[in-house]
Amino acid sequence: MIIKTKLLKKLHTVSSLICCTLLLIFSLSGLSLNHRALFEAIPTLKEQHITVAKLTPLALGDRLLQQQIELTPLQLSSLAEMQELSIATPGKRLEIYIEQDTLSIESADLGLWVKLNELHQNRHTSTLWLIVSDVSALLLIFSAASGIWLSLRDKKQRKNYLIYLSLSLISFILLLE
CA distance 74 to 143: 42
Tell me what percent of the chain is helix, strand and coil, each rounded to the nearest 5: 60, 15, 20
Q: Per residue of the chain (177 residues), what is the pLDDT tens digit?
A: 566 778 888 888 888 888 888 888 888 888 888 888 888 888 899 999 988 877 788 888 888 888 899 999 999 889 888 999 999 999 999 999 998 888 999 999 999 888 888 888 888 888 998 898 888 889 888 988 888 888 888 888 888 888 888 888 898 899 887
CA distance 45 to 66: 19
